[in-house]
Amino acid sequence: MKKRVLAALLSTTMVASLLAGCGSSGSSNTASSDAGAATEASSDAGSSASAGGTKVGVSMPTKDLQRWNQDGSNMESELKAAGYDVDLQFASNDVATQVSQIENMISSGANVLVIAAIEGSSLGSALDKAKEAGIPVIAYDRLLMNSDAVSYYATFDNYKVGTVQGNYIVDALDLKNAAGPFNLEITAGDPGDNNANYFYSGAMDVLQPYIDEGKLNVVSGQTKFDDVATPTWATETAQSRAENILSSYYADGTNVDVWLCSNDSTALGVENALAANYSGTYPIITGQDCDIENTKNMIAGKQSMSVFKDTRTLASQVVKMTGQILSGQTVDVNDTTTYDNGTGVIPSFLCEPVFADANNYKEILIDSGYYTEDQLK
């Protein structure tokens, strides 16, 4: 309860002043003085200030997409380095598996749960058990919906990811000046993932005025989220929808100028479909995550941009929050207004997404040690 009161009390100005990059000391210090009540909401569930003998259950959605393997292994190594025992599980994109893995974590004595949900609204029963057992839950990257068992949320600024993609398209096509019309198609993410709506809305808030003006023309007519969504973010699903669009609307030689894709796994599907079914001028294609295959495609000119979300930074932030929760300290948050999960606003820490393309990938991906040069060959 207390954390909701806190959410209401924090002023907008205060929150704005906290919006610094992930893990910056400035945000940490400022948050500390004001987020005390948020800490209290969970501090009774964990008491030990030292990590020794303390177990953290980390539940990841799947190994099928590159990003979650990275998140899982970063979380595991960072938690171990901080002295925690770690129970890391991947749920094969199967909700029932994720529920039972979380239940096992609870019964085997996890002190904190860190959960990246397959479907944000489908873990209610497991989350209720965590709450009954007094185990704090951190929603990782994806918000856990409709449950009052969620203590904190750590993610990237999801709406901003979408605006970065939308603004890239505006600049690349010079939409402010050019007359157009340019042909646009849209591929969004998983309807069960709360993030997918934020990505889509962020991009569409930027692009919709140009669609309304007629500068952007969605030839397939498919613009609504439900029409462009991709269940489980699967590359194959994005690919087969793109193939259908290309054969139905572009087989007569019409060019597709731009394809807004919410992330890299869906962008890859679109790129595969274009390679096999399209011979017109190659479109601008957006993405997100800087997955290895997509970064290779950026270098090869088959994808225009991506949005880099440094999973190392998110993992460090979550490890830090875990320690703060368990030792009863103030927990670092920098957003207490955006993410209402249906039971109230969940105090959140938003990391900064970073624009990436073929011009800056070396600096942000290789120089930072995220990938080796060989991995991108």
Sheet holding 216-217, edge to edge: 216-217, 182-187, 258-261, 284-285
Shortest distance (Å) from residue 2 CB to ligand BGC: 28
In terms of CB distance, is 59 or 288 closer to ligand BGC? 288
Binding test (CB under 6 A) with ligand BGC, winner from 101, 263, 297, 316: 263
Measured distance CA(274)–CA(268) in Å, rounded: 10
Tokens 């600024």 correspond to 157
Shortest distance (Å) from residue 203 CB to ligand BGC: 14
CA distances from 179 to 81, 168, 176, 215 (A): 56, 17, 8, 6
Binding test (CB under 6 A) with ligand BGC, winner from 151, 288, 294, 297: 288
Binding test (CB under 6 A) with ligand BGC, winner from 87, 119, 289, 335: 289
Q: Which residue is nearest to ligand BGC (CB)?
A: 263
Site for ligand BGC in 99-158 (CB under 6 A): 141-142
Contact of 173 with 309, CB cutoff 8 Å? no
Torsions phi, psi of 88, nearest 5?
-100, 125
Binding test (CB under 6 A) with ligand BGC, winner from 3, 241, 302, 309: 309
Site for ligand BGC in 62-81 (CB under 6 A): 65, 67
In terms of CB distance, is 265 or 297 closer to ligand BGC? 265
Tokens 């849209």 correspond to 186
Closest CA to 65 of 194, 235, 231: 235
Shortest distance (Å) from residue 110 CB to ligand BGC: 23
Contact of 303 with 284, CB cutoff 8 Å? no
Binding test (CB under 6 A) with ligand BGC, winner from 140, 168, 182, 233: 233
Shortest distance (Å) from residue 369 CB to ligand BGC: 20
Site for ligand BGC in 164-193 (CB under 6 A): 193
Contacts of 76 (CB under 8 A, 6+ apart): 58, 86, 88
Angle between helices 311-326 and 36-43 (to 10 degrees): 70
Binding mask 188-207 for ligand BGC (x = CB under 6 A): -----x-x------------
Shortest distance (Å) from residue 92 CB to ligand BGC: 14
Shortest distance (Å) from residue 206 CB to ligand BGC: 19
In terms of CB distance, is 42 or 288 closer to ligand BGC? 288
230 membership: H or E segment, kind and range: none
Measured distance CA(161)–CA(182) in Å, rounded: 22
In terms of CB distance, is 71 or 87 closer to ligand BGC? 71
Q: How many residues bind ligand BGC (CB under 6 A)?
A: 12
Closest CA to 200 of 233, 246, 247, 241: 233
In terms of CB distance, is 67 or 302 closer to ligand BGC? 67
Shortest distance (Å) from residue 199 CB to ligand BGC: 8
**Amino acid identity, residue 361?**
Y
In terms of CB distance, is 302 or 309 closer to ligand BGC? 309
Using CA of residue 160, residue 166, residue 167, residue 172, what is the dihedral sign? positive
Rg (CA), the chain: 21
Shortest distance (Å) from residue 148 CB to ligand BGC: 22
> What value, to the nearest 5°, has the Cα angle with vertex 169 and ends 164 and 171?
95
* Binding residues vs ligand BGC (CB under 6 A): 65, 67, 141-142, 193, 195, 233, 263, 265, 288-289, 309
